[in-house]
Structures are given as C-alpha cells and as structure tokens.
Amino acid sequence: MHHRLKRGQGGIWSPENIVAVCGDGVTGCHGLFEHYPDKAAALGWHVRLWLNPAQVPLLWRGSTWVLLTPEGTVTNVEDDASDTD
C-alpha cells in the first residue's frame, strides 16, 4: 500500500490517501514513486505536504484523472484538473 501523502508528513490510512501499487518502496511502481517524487506528484501519486489528498487528482490506469474520496469512492475529473502546482 502506498501513502500519497507520506506518513512522515502526516499522511494517514484513509481512502483518499492510500492506493494499492506493486512493489515495496524500492521496487515496482512503489519504488518508482519513491525514486521520482516530482514525476509522481505530477501524476497525483505523491501529494505535496500543503495539499489535501482528497483534492489532488490521480492519473488512474494511465489515462483517466480521478479524485479519491474520504468515503472510498472514485470520481472522474476533467483532464485540466491535474494542475496542482
């Protein structure tokens, strides 16, 4: 399981902050997100400390921008909604 907002930065085990990814932090997708945090942030897989994970779109399955909600649902968003910087 991957914390979009890292645990050390206050990220909690909540539906909008947790995603299942392959790897263990140094391998697979999880490893890629850890090794390339700027790219991961641009795709919504890392959330910057000052942002709310529920408001940061995530590029889901490489083609669809979604928001993960605190209730555990997924909401599609417009492509231009991915600009979080």
pTM of the model: 0.82
Q: Give me the pLDDT at residue 57, please.
A: 98
Q: How many domains does the chain fold into? A: 1
pLDDT at residue 80 greater than cutoff 90: no
* Mean pLDDT value of segment 72-85: 73
C-beta pairs of 28-35 under 8 Å, 24+ apart in sequence: 29/2, 30/2, 33/2
pLDDT at residue 75 greater than cutoff 90: yes
pLDDT in tens, 30-72: 999 999 999 999 999 999 999 999 999 999 988 999 999 999 9
> Could you count the other beta carbons within 10 Å of the beta carbon of residue 49?
10
Q: Give me the pLDDT at residue 7, please.
A: 87
Domain assignment of residue 27, given as a range: 2-82
Give yes or no for a contact between 77 and 65, defined as CB atoms under 8 angstroms apart. Answer: yes
